[in-house]
Amino acid sequence: MPKKQVDLIIKNASELATPYDRNQKPLVGKQMQALRIIKNAALAVSDGKIIGVGKTSSVTSTFTATETIDAKGKTVIPGFVDAHTHLVFAGSREKEFETRLKGASYMEILREGGGILKTVMETRQATEDELIHNCQKTLDIMLKHGTTTVEAKSGYGLTTKDEAKCLRAIKQASKSHPVDVVPTFLGAHAIPPEFEEDAENYVDLVIEEMIPSIANAKLAEFCDVFCEEGAFTVEQTKRILQTALKHGLTPKVHADELTPYGGAELAAEMRAISAEHLQYASDAGLKMMSKHRVIAVLLPTASFTLMTQRYAEARKMIDLNIPIALGTDFNPSCWTESQQLVIAMACRQLRLTPAEALTAATLNAAHAVNRAAKTGSLEEGKNADILILDVPNHSFLGYRFGTNLVRQVLKDGKLVVDVE
Ligand SMILES: [Zn+2]
């Protein structure tokens, strides 16, 4: 039998580790831990897709390639999917960071006109080109740290015009960058200052004007709401998400981040694809999420940056068969582009094993952004979104932290990062 010609073979990897799809559903319970692990592994890529995975001897006896990467001593895993970011904004908040270090709370800063509102002012003033440039800069760093697909929320415009500007910037940045960007409309991120006394009227604006125009222009796939005391009530969140559904946007909820507020319950009731944050989610809410298989998108770096010591109860969620995904919560007050840091924190603060954290940062995160059919695991037929790490096995994920373990990144089969 002549060997089949392919574009690329990665061979001799000390280990290949990947979660794998079972019935196209997010992984729960013990499935999150059960990686497919191949020692002395190889992988064949053609036309941007994975077409063979196995032992080096078997892959190299079936395929011959134009290009070969020798991954001796290294670990091959799927590209990370970052399931929760606020990718698009202008400015920064390093001064506020110092105020927070002295003890000011998130809500105190917000009431003083800082926090989200400062970023809203700077984002409104920015041009679309400036925002595109900012997004691309961030995507470059994310890619170098192994993220090949990222969810991106709007939410620093808070007018119809500025929300559309932010979502167009996300779309443009995505077009000219290897990282796949999945857009989420988060017009209900904060009550803008001009509606301070008048939250209901802002909700009406979101419902009557923003959602229809964003959906019409096909600028978003998901609609998220910051359901929280001082932001949007459960009732307002529900009205917004019902409208989003009518316009073909899939619901997500920023739920129970700062107080137990009923966000997890609402996410389940609305059949949201995901509830995100969840540091204060109630037991009743978690049970409802489990019943309706709502994905818990957990963001340990958000707790870290808030300095609350309050982390989501991930072990309880795994016991309840709630699928867990991970994200950076990249935003001006939680400025990290690295899913590797998130994994390190997920291991220590959420007590996930490296294998569970890998599943949460790849396949389950892909499910949370509706991309699992294409990416999130190293399986035949999926996009060749692949990382080569300079460690001998996947247990080094989270164990070593604070430096970048990524040596090569392949996106759709193309070598887009090469540190060697
Ligand atoms: Zn967020």
- Going from the Cα of 15 to the center of ligand 1, the distance in angstroms, rounded, reads 34
Q: pLDDT, tens digit, for every residue of 172-208?
A: 999 999 999 999 999 999 999 999 889 999 999 999 9
Distance 7 CA to ligand 1 centre (A): 39
Tokens encoding 73: 């001593």
Closest by CA position to 99, among listed 87, 121, 115, 83: 115
- Distance of CA 203 from the midpoint of ligand 1 (Å): 19
* Angstrom distance (rounded) from CA 162 to CA 127: 10
d(CA 337, CA 310): 22
Residue 356 CA to ligand 1 centre (angstroms)? 22
Dist. CA 209–CA 224, nearest whole Å: 16
Spacing, Cα 384 to ligand 1 middle (Å): 28
Element of type H or E holding 366: helix 363-368
At residue 115, the pLDDT reads 86
Residue that the structure tokens 């080096």 belong to: 56
* Cα(405) to centroid(ligand 1), Å: 26
Largest CA distance in the chain: 75
DSSP assignment of 255-307: ESSSS--SHHHHHHHTT-SEEEE-TT--HHHHHHHHHTT-EEEE-HHHHHHHT
Cα 152 to ligand 1 centre (Å): 10
**Cα-only R_g, the chain:** 21
Low-confidence ranges of the chain (pLDDT < 70): none
- Of 380, 376, 405, whose CA–CA distance to 391 is shortest? 405
For β-strands 406-411 and 295-298, DSSP reports them as: unpaired
Ligand 1 centroid, distance to 204 Cα (angstroms)? 22
Summarised one tens digit per residue, pLDDT across range 25-49 is 999 999 999 999 999 999 999 999 9
| Full 3-state SS string of 337-363 | CCHHHHHHHHHHHCCCCHHHHHHHHCH
SS3 26: coil
CB of 33 closer than 8 Å to CB of 356: yes
| Gap from CA of 184 to ligand 1 centroid (Å) | 11
The CA 33 to ligand 1 mean position distance, Å, reads: 26
CA of 253 to the centre of ligand 1 (A): 9
Determine the Cα–Cα distance for residues 162 and 123; give it in Å rounded to an integer: 8
d(CA 163, CA 212): 12
Distance 115 CA to ligand 1 centre (A): 13
Give residue 224 CA to ligand 1 midpoint distance, Å: 9
382 CA to centre of ligand 1 in angstroms: 28
pLDDT at position 308, please? 85
Instruction: Let me know if 95 is exposed, middle or buried by CB neighbors in 10 A (0-12, 13-18, 19+).
Output: exposed
Q: For the segment 361-386, what is each residue's pLDDT rounded down to a tens digit? A: 999 999 999 999 999 999 999 999 99
In this structure, what are the phi and psi dihedrals at residue 102, rounded to the nearest 5 degrees? -80, -5
Cβ atoms within 10 A of the Cβ of 199, count? 16
**Segment holding 386, helix H or strand E:** strand 386-389
What pLDDT does residue 106 have?
75
Q: Which residues contact 378 (CB under 8 A, 6 or more apart)?
A: 16, 18, 36, 43, 50, 53, 76, 77, 78, 386
Query: Cα 64 to chain center, whole Å?
Result: 35
b/e map 223-244, b = 16+ CB within 10 Å: bbbbbbeebbbbebbbbbbebb
* Distance from residue 123's CA to the centre of ligand 1 (Å): 16
Q: How many A from CA of 254 to the centre of ligand 1?
A: 7
Q: 204: part of which helix (H) or strand (E)?
A: helix 199-205
